Amino acid sequence: MVRKIKGGYLGLAVLFAMLAAMPFIIGEYRLTTVLMMMIWVIVVVSYRLLATTGEFSLGHVVVMGIGAYSSAIMSRNMGMSFWVTAPLGGLIAAGFAAATARPLFRMKGMYFLLGSFALGEAIRLCFRGFKEPFGGEGGFWYVPTPSIGSFIFSDTISYFYLVLGVTAACLFIMYRIDQSRIGKAMVAIHSQDSLCESLGINILGYKTLAYITASFFAGIAGALLGHYMTTVSPPQFAIGPMLLVLIWVVVGGTNTFWGPIAGVFTLYTIQETLRGVLVEWMPMFYGIILIAMVFALPGGLESLPARIAEWRKARREKLAGTGAG
């Protein structure tokens, strides 16, 4: 067990070391896509936190939007610093989760999926419908760029390192949660909820905790996105991006911490490599990948190493069998 935990932290360190080297390897345009990918990594890993308890949400990207809008509004209208508004954005998103957990967790499975969608859509349409304070359909403009003293994170490379640092911190904390007793209890709820209840595990409590924590990190990711784009608008948090997050998570798999990360990295890389070829066919490509994965590899990308090992073992046994015969 101890060895495995060490391996996990090493994996995170290697991952972020590789990402930190990116600005020296690739050009500015590609760097932007890696930057966006890191923001989405926070979103999918936090999404998995809730998904481990067995509930799939269709409102997670809207929660991200709550963080984005709060941070944007506080920093532009109240002149607060990014370093205060971004964590506050996360806290407000977490507060929203705390307020809505009770009615939401009266639902399970399909009903949870649809309920989170209804709630998310209501909130997102508030962003669109109310010009004050959200800016209405056109969105909220001129979100200030973060700065320390006189240094402004205005170019891609400096903002890249800002996102890198925040993503690393978020992933480190979420990995700790995943490996802790709390994280294990969350997974146990998914597979054996009545057994857990009889063992005295407070199911509603753990689900609420997972939802609040996931929302906090989604809110932070939203703040990072908003201050980078300098505009926050309703379509950014619509059902389209939400379904992409769902596809990344389903394609990667939710059983391990690494599944959703693998999903984002793989699909994002394919997407960016084939951008010129696929152009507007891209969403269809995503749709086909999703359907193909559900049928061909239901465990997600994370189950691939085990699958390959199994396949090789079967082949070796078969070869040994023919040799003996």
Q: Which chain residues interact with other proteins by CB under 8 A?
A: 56, 103-104, 106-107, 109-111, 113-115, 117-119, 121-122, 125-126, 128-131, 136-137, 239, 243, 246-247, 250, 280-284, 286-288, 290-291, 294-295
- Residue 206 Cβ vs other proteins, minimum distance, rounded to whole Å: 20
CB-nearer residue toward other proteins: 40 or 105? 105
- Which residue lies nearer to other proteins by CB, 292 or 319? 292
Least distance from other proteins to the Cβ atom of residue 73, Å: 17
SS in 3 state form for 10-69? HHHHHHHHHHHHHHHHCCHHHHHHHHHHHHHHHHHHHHHHHHCCCCCCCCHHHHHHHHHH
Q: Tell me the closest approach of the beta carbon of residue 80 to other proteins, in angstroms.
A: 26
Tally the residues of the chain: 325
Kindly list the distances between the CA atom of residue 173 and the CA atoms of 39, 139, 179, 212, in Å, as whole numbers in the listed order: 15, 32, 10, 14
Name the residue nearer to other proteins (CB basis): 83 or 111.
111
Nearest CB to other proteins, comparing residues 45 and 101: 101
Q: Please give the C-alpha separations between residue 251 and each of 52, 133, 240, in angstroms, as whole numbers.
A: 15, 37, 16
Here the tokens at position 256 are 């391990």
In the complex, least distance from residue 123 CB atom to other proteins, rounded to whole angstroms: 9
Shortest CB 199 distance to other proteins, Å:
25
Contact status, residue 254 vs residue 300, Cβ threshold 8 Å: yes
* Residue of 284, 261, 242, 55 lying closest to 167 (CA atoms): 261
In angstroms, the CA 286 to CA 150 distance is 43
Task: Tell me the HSE value of 140 on the side-chain side, using a 13 A CA sphere.
Answer: 30
SS3 297: coil
Distance CA 292, CA 210 (A): 30
- What CA–CA distance (Å, rounded) separates 15 from 17? 6
Closest distance to other proteins from the beta carbon of 240 (Å)? 9
- Comparison of 131 and 315: residue with beta carbon closer to other proteins: 131
What is the residue-wise DSSP string for 80-128?
--HHHHHHHHHHHHHHHHHHHHHHHTT--HHHHHHHHHHHHHHHHHHHH
SS3 state of residue 233: coil
Nearer to other proteins, 26 or 122 (CB): 122
Minimum CB distance to other proteins smaller for 21 or for 294? 294
Q: Could you tell me the smallest distance in angstroms from the CB atom of residue 118 to other proteins?
A: 4
CB of 186 to other proteins, least distance (A): 18
In the complex with other proteins, which residue's Cβ is closer, 68 or 246? Answer: 246
Query: Buried b / exposed e across 1-21, counting CB within 10 Å, b at 16+?
Result: eeeeeeebeeebeebbeebee
